[in-house]
Structure 1
Amino acid sequence: MTEARLIIADSEHDADMLYVAGIFVPDAFIAVEMNSEWHGLFSPLEVDRARKDSNFDHIHLDALFRLSAENAGRSGLAAVAAAFLEERKLKKIEVPPHFPFGYAEQLKSWGFEVRASEGAFFPERAVKTELEIRHLAYAEKLTRQSMMQAENYLAACSVGSDGILRDSQSGKKVKAADVRRAIETFLIGNGAMPAHTIVACGKEGADPHNVGSGFIRAHQPIIIDIFPRVLSTGYWGDMTRTYVKGKATPEVRKLYNTVREGQDIGLSMVQAGIDGSAVHQAITTHFDRQGYPTKMIRGRQTGFFHGTGHGVGLQIHEAPRISVKSDILKAGQVVTVEPGLYYPGLGGVRIEDMVVVRGGGCDNLTNHKRRLEID
């Protein structure tokens, strides 16, 4: 029996659907692959646009199949998909691992054999085409420019007698939200949507995913992690820098230099054919030798306790991974290299670049200087 592949999702939030459709659709619709060709089933609201702009080999108005489903006493998108498949005498379906459980149960109750794919539904998504790399390079360009907005904002700030930064225009005490606003206003104005931009000063930086909410203080590390999505393409940028407004303490400076050296090790190793776990281990070994082992202290993780990097594309985190688990890098993959060290009470340091894996090394899409101190 011939097997079809089925997705039921919107393409605003589902990367697999966006990958196959090539257009943004806010409401869920149906995509079916059979005989190596993709069919898109669209409502009257979307069908003409899909015929003009989508990547599908065939476009269908879903109303006819919806009527067939209703005549069979069924309703909903799973019923529309069932009517389409039954007309073509297809009863075996492969679906993505995240396929809605309710849809799967409905299809099974109507006699379909449904199985989830083992691993990624589109494993080929991990290796980017040159067009995709251009999309990612543009996303990273906007990310880099937004980081410069943060640098300029911090440079313009003065330092109060209490050590808290003061806004150059209003004179008010500066919080993380003020720096975030400078970053995100630029991104939104240039067609990119920021998502939980991290501006974490001092002890807030000890938690890698703390977005930051407190005052920005002089002479303390400030982790800024920016990861926007370009609205026109759906591709993401990702970049992190750590700054100190004023003078870094010797402790922070040593931490920063160690992380920068660790990133240099990672960037020098990334190339097609290398195991990501070897990259991660080399950085971990460097940190250990510099006196920064990863361990629990009073119930909290300290040191380097996350992966070195991850793939970036239509999702901010996707295959491959550079971590403790084996994952062989391939030419054309786009990954981050983002080692970090974190200590409660002190804060953290993380530096992140986004690179394209190539046969003899990698191309750095971030291409932005690493500086610790901002005067």
Structure 2
Amino acid sequence: MSPQEKAGSGPAKAEICRAFSETADAYIIYGNMTDPDLYYASRFLASDSFTYILLASGHEILLVSEMEKNRALKESCVRDVRTTGEYDLRKKAAACRDASFGYAGVIEELLQKENVRKAAFPYNAPAFLYEGIRTGKAGIGVTLAKSPFLKARSIKSEEESACIEESMRGTEAAMEAAIDMIRKAGVRDGFLISPGTDRPLTGAEVLTEIDRVLTEHNDLGDETIVSCAEDSADPHGKTYGPLRAGQPIVIDIFPMNKRSRYFSDMTRTVLKGKASPELTKLYEAVRKAQEAGIAAARPGVTCADVHNRVCDVLEEAGYDTIRSGATVGFIHTTGHGVGLEIHEQPGVYDNDHVLVPGNVITIEPGLYYPGLGGIRIEDTVIITENGCRNYNKAEKVFEV
């Protein structure tokens, strides 16, 4: 079963329907290609907004513009494709002198004809659509509901895993290119010198190289992190200016593959030159904590089990952790789910979510101390029947 077919049938769809059918007759998503639930449900991409409707019976409807109908029939996993023209969108928009409320009238008519008495919308539903249905003449009730797709999305199929793998190959190539720039850089007056030039190597220059390699692999990076020295003491700090020798450089790359829409995520921390004993100890503690977290990630254990194992290793090494309420040291969660969003379920922190085969999570402990800097190491793994498999193959070397 291809990713384009995944959401359209089978046990996952039945469970999705059960998640909302006790409170509504239909679940409605309005959005465009940036909405992960909409893509997961329909496997259709369009820059203009369109609507997916899942009836409690399991029947799916895709509502698109006339221009997109033929493409939707070819590309979407939804077989019942309808157009706004079939429901007189232009006439409705003219009657209320508002295109958005005219569109709400289209949805209202469609729901009424499908005998929907109450419709559920996601938390981020547009107000015009929610209010348009709520105040409409058809008397259809409305409610907000947590996405019923989140659990299904958290368990990846083999095809989805392959999509993440494809994205990761570009991520690792970009990481290799970035570290190679740092490795080949010269050093002058405590700053890195760009290879083959007489000017400082900057974080901006490394980011440009990362983007170049990602583009070659059909990956799209956004908010990539290159963070050096004091900036690295902030988990999401960034350094655009000159990079320093003898200081940690955190590189965090998490692009989306433009073909599949699936993300990957990895972080490495490197240092040009010789690290101080204090930084070396910091790095080794993070490395061992990450190894322990990966070893703990297997089916049947909770996210809290994995998170606590990471905290145990760091605390045993003498460092502060979020578990004790620290504001320095390990101050974030151990990881997060990865898929059609860079951050999705399950979150790897102090919670009772039980890991199951198909969960894709990051293991990314870090230590951050103002005045010293920060270290983070991150891999993405998929839970298997017997443990987990690491998507990452790139080595972990501190001094380069």
* TM-score category (smaller protein): over 0.9
Q: Which one of 72, 80, 83 corresponds to residue 50 of structure 1? A: 72
Residue 46 of structure 1 aligns to a residue whose secondary structure is helix
Between 1:348-357 and 1:50-59, the stretch displaced more is 50-59
Residue in structure 1 matched with residue 174 of structure 2 by the alignment: 146
Query: 1:223: how far off?
Result: 0.3
Answer yes or no: is 1:352 the counterpart of 2:373: no
Larger fraction in helix = 2
Q: Which one of 21, 25, 41 corresponds to residue 46 of structure 2? A: 25
Larger fraction in strand = 1
TM score, norm. by length of structure 2: 0.88
Residue in structure 2 matched with residue 240 of structure 1 by the alignment: 267
Query: 1:264: how far off?
Result: 0.6
Do the aligned partners of 2:134 and 2:140 also contact (CA within 8 Å) in 1? yes
Alignment of 1:44-193 (within 5 A): 44-65=66-87, 66=89, 69-70=92-93, 73=96, 75-76=99-100, 77-110=103-136, 111-118=139-146, 120-160=148-188, 162-193=189-220
Query: 1:88: how far off?
Result: 2.1
- 1: CA distance, partners of 2:149 / 2:158: 21
Residue 287 of structure 1 aligns to a residue whose secondary structure is helix
Answer yes or no: is 1:7 the counterpart of 2:29: yes
- 1: CA distance, partners of 2:239 / 2:69: 44
Residue 368 of structure 1 aligns to a residue whose secondary structure is coil
- 1: CA distance, partners of 2:238 / 2:107: 41
- 2: CA distance, partners of 1:83 / 1:68: 13
- 2: CA distance, partners of 1:191 / 1:279: 33
Residue 300 of structure 2 aligns to a residue whose secondary structure is coil
**What code does the residue aligned with 1:335 have?**
I
Query: 1:102: how far off?
Result: 3.0
Residue in structure 1 matched with residue 59 of structure 2 by the alignment: 37
- 1: CA distance, partners of 2:309 / 2:183: 35
* Superposed CA offset, 1:101-143 (max 9, x none): 3321221111221122245444211101110000001111111
Query: 1:45: how far off?
Result: 2.3
- 1: CA distance, partners of 2:182 / 2:142: 55
Do the aligned partners of 1:96 and 1:121 also contact (CA within 8 Å) in 2? no
Where do 5+ consecutive residues of structure 1 fail to align? none
Answer yes or no: is 1:252 the counterpart of 2:279: yes
Residue 240 of structure 1 aligns to a residue whose secondary structure is strand
- 2: CA distance, partners of 1:7 / 1:23: 13
- 2: CA distance, partners of 1:216 / 1:2: 56
Where do 5+ consecutive residues of structure 2 fail to align? 1-22
- 2: CA distance, partners of 1:42 / 1:274: 43
Do the aligned partners of 1:97 and 1:121 also contact (CA within 8 Å) in 2? no
Answer yes or no: is 1:272 the counterpart of 2:272: no
- 2: CA distance, partners of 1:270 / 1:295: 20
Residue in structure 1 matched with residue 348 of structure 2 by the alignment: 322
- 2: CA distance, partners of 1:174 / 1:55: 48
Change beyond 3 A, Cα 1:357–1:84: same
Query: 1:169: how far off?
Result: 2.5
Answer yes or no: is 1:287 the counterpart of 2:308: no
- 2: CA distance, partners of 1:183 / 1:59: 40
Do the aligned partners of 2:282 and 2:367 also contact (CA within 8 Å) in 1? yes
Query: 1:68: how far off?
Result: 6.6
Answer yes or no: is 1:303 the counterpart of 2:324: no
Change beyond 3 A, Cα 1:86–1:143: same
When the two chains are superposed, the root-mean-square deviation of aligned CA atoms in Å is: 2.0
Do the aligned partners of 1:201 and 1:214 also contact (CA within 8 Å) in 2? no
**What code does the residue aligned with 1:247 have?**
K
Residue in structure 2 matched with residue 221 of structure 1 by the alignment: 248
- 2: CA distance, partners of 1:132 / 1:67: 39
- 1: CA distance, partners of 2:154 / 2:105: 32
- 2: CA distance, partners of 1:144 / 1:116: 40
Do the aligned partners of 2:296 and 2:309 also contact (CA within 8 Å) in 1? no
Residue 66 of structure 2 aligns to a residue whose secondary structure is coil
- 1: CA distance, partners of 2:130 / 2:154: 26
